[in-house]
Structure 1
């Protein structure tokens, strides 16, 4: 593993630009160097999988920017023919841009990357957040995005290491790679087990988080809010997109909860092509599992004081029951006859 020395705090963009001796070769040779770019020309990364800072963490960032400016330049890539007129797409620095806007800034320092593939751009997004945040502090959907990226074949280890080196150099100008044969994050990742080792997870947890990545954004948000457990999320991930959309819609319109029994049933119905709007509602509402109420006659007990004045203490219970039955028959026969007379 590579050690990361403590960085000297750079107080301004001018100092950052003049401190060439502080940077290693990868940063000095960045294509097009550092530019000051108007924020309105930068769009967020498409389907950005990470949540922006808020509350105290955002307040601290805003205060730092107000006092010192943006110390670490953001990384963007050029875009062409954007229908909304954007010229760049953010790769690393969504929080810095957001904090700078809150602080009242309209522009900031950016490193412009040209010719990146979508996969390479995503590597910048993922690795920036892994470096800047603790993996254990990430939301479930964020962990899923990181693992999904790390688990794909296109996550070329050599390219990944180059990107990590660049990002570490930006965060810490005194950072120097100490072992050319060792990747900053460990050995090459080829299996689910190795991905788990890198992030301190069991292979079963890795497998479940990889399934979370297949959920719609609206359902991922419910997972992050602990409204849907990780195991339930795995079941829901096997639903096709239209089924997930309907599940999300029903949950949004009703105060239903998702438990293991419901999620397993949704998955089973989907696998058997029986899942539709009606069955989704019935499953999530719990109606489909409700047993019909038994149509039994009510049990009635007659208090002793009611019948004691009509029977002596020596009268057997069977005799009392027989007389009560005859009295009821007479009562209903008589009253039924009166109702017919009134109707006529």
Structure 2
């Protein structure tokens, strides 16, 4: 059942998360890459080795498997946003995998606070914003005001960009430079005229 879920053409991220977790747990129970004498470091190494073995027979890399399994730590409503990147249900928010993984490290209470801000702002955090939220959480400084402040930061893809073809841009530059040159020429002529007028006035005053 687990293997068939992973091989389907369209698999939800949440389905992958639980399927990979079940598969990994089964491998550990069977004694693959585990040993009761392992300390904490050894257990971590065994988990990595297990993921590598799983990746050899799965459609995802070991690192990607780790990311999917992290999703299990998300509260259901945030996890459903990740699933919606596949389902693409109209009117429902979507959240990419990478920011979701960062948010999976937040305790449930902070995830709930974040969810309230996301619903109020009608947006989900970018990867960079999610990293910042996780950092504040790990420092014990995350609260609704901090979350709101981070969520209201403008994302790079929300900054309006103006693009122009190179040939057209070059044409505009030439026109601007030409216009500036003509303007400079007029100023120089005006200055020359002003100098001539001042000289004429002085000569006239000297004659009188």
TM-score range, shorter chain: 0.5 to 0.7
Deviation at 1:260, TM superposition (A): 1.5
Q: Does 1:222 align with 2:81?
A: yes
Tell me whether 1:255 sits opposite 2:122 in the alignment: yes
1:140 aligns with 2:140: no
Which residues in structure 2 correspond to 1:125-164 (within 5 Å)? 127=1, 130-131=3-4, 134-152=7-25, 156-157=29-30
Where do 1:1-344 residues align within 5 Å? 127=1, 130-131=3-4, 134-152=7-25, 156-157=29-30, 191-226=50-85, 227-286=94-153, 314-315=193-194
**Gap regions ≥5 residues in structure 2:** 32-48, 86-93, 157-190, 196-208
Are the aligned partners of 2:5 and 2:11 in contact in 1 as well (CA < 8 Å)? no
Whether the 8 Å CA contact 1:147–1:206 is kept in 2: the answer is: yes
Compared CA separation, residues 134 and 195, structure 1 to 2 (3 A): same
Q: CA deviation at 1:140?
A: 0.6
| Aligned 8 A contact 2:82 2:96 in 1 | yes
Helix, strand or coil at the partner of 2:133: helix
Q: What is the number of equivalent residue pairs in this alignment?
A: 139
Q: 1:261 deviation in Å?
A: 1.3
Who wins on radius of gyration, i.e. which is larger?
Answer: 1
Q: 1:268 to 1:237 in 2, by over 3 A?
A: same
Inter-partner Cα distance in structure 2 for 1:250 and 1:229 = 17
- Indicate if the aligned counterparts of 1:235 and 1:263 stay in contact, CA closer than 8 A: yes
The one of the two structures with greater contact order (alpha-carbon pairs below 8 A, sep at least 6) is 1
**What is the distance in 2 between the residues matched to 1:147 and 1:266?**
27
Give the drift of 1:233: 1.1
Output the TM-score relative to the length of structure 1.
Answer: 0.36
Gaps of 5+ in 1: 1-126, 159-189, 290-311, 317-344
CA RMSD of aligned residues (A): 3.3
Identify the structure with the greater strand proportion: 1
Structure 1 position 147, deviation (Å): 0.8
Q: Greater helix percent: which structure?
A: 2
Q: How far off its partner does 1:267 sit?
A: 0.8
1:34 corresponds in structure 2 to none
CA distance in 1, matches of 2:5, 2:106: 34
| TM-score normalized with structure 2 length | 0.57
> Once the 2 structures are TM-superposed, how far is the Cα of residue 130 of structure 1 from its aligned partner?
4.5
Q: What are the Cα deviations for residues 14-55 of structure 1, in whole angstroms up to 9, with x where unaligned?
A: xxxxxxxxxxxxxxxxxxxxxxxxxxxxxxxxxxxxxxxxxx
Q: Return the offset for 1:212.
A: 1.1
Tell me the CA shift for residue 134 of structure 1: 3.4
Within 2, Cα distance between the matches of 1:154 and 1:199?
Answer: 14
**How far 1:155 sits from its partner (Å)?**
6.6
- CA gap of 1:259–1:197, structure 2 versus 1, over 3 A, is same
